[in-house]
């Protein structure tokens, strides 16, 4: 989830217990994330179509989208 979107929507945040670095497909670190991802949202409802889940989303700098879903 983008930091800009979080500031705009005032979604609560908390510190991650196990921070990590973010890498792209060729094992290169994403340059926008010079530090480890160390924050996440508190549980928030996420709706995709008619499906809803309560999720914690990690926070990172993004270029275009407010939220990006990927594989762990």
Residue 64: inside a domain? no
**Cα 52 from Cα 63, distance rounded (Å):** 25
For residue 11, what are the domain limits? 3-55
- pLDDT, one tens digit for every residue, the chain (72 residues): 888 888 899 999 899 899 888 777 777 777 555 678 888 999 999 998 999 999 998 887 777 888 887 755
Residue 29: inside a domain? yes
The token pair at 36 is 């480890």
What is the per-residue pLDDT for 33? Answer: 55
Residue 16: inside a domain? yes
What is the per-residue pLDDT for 6? Answer: 86
- Could you give the number of structural domains in the chain? 1
The token pair at 41 is 């949202």
What is the per-residue pLDDT for 32? Answer: 58
What is the per-residue pLDDT for 5? Answer: 87
**Cα 68 from Cα 5, distance rounded (Å):** 12
Residue 63: inside a domain? no
């Amino acid at each position: 989830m983008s930091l800009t979107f979080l500031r705009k929507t005032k979604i609560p945040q908390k510190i991650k217990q196990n921070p990590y670095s973010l890498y792209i497909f060729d094992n290169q670190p994403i340059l926008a994330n010079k530090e480890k991802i160390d924050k996440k949202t508190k549980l928030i409802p996420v709706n995709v179509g008619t499906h809803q889940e309560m999720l914690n989303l990690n926070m990172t700098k993004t270029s275009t989208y407010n939220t990006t879903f990927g594989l762990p």
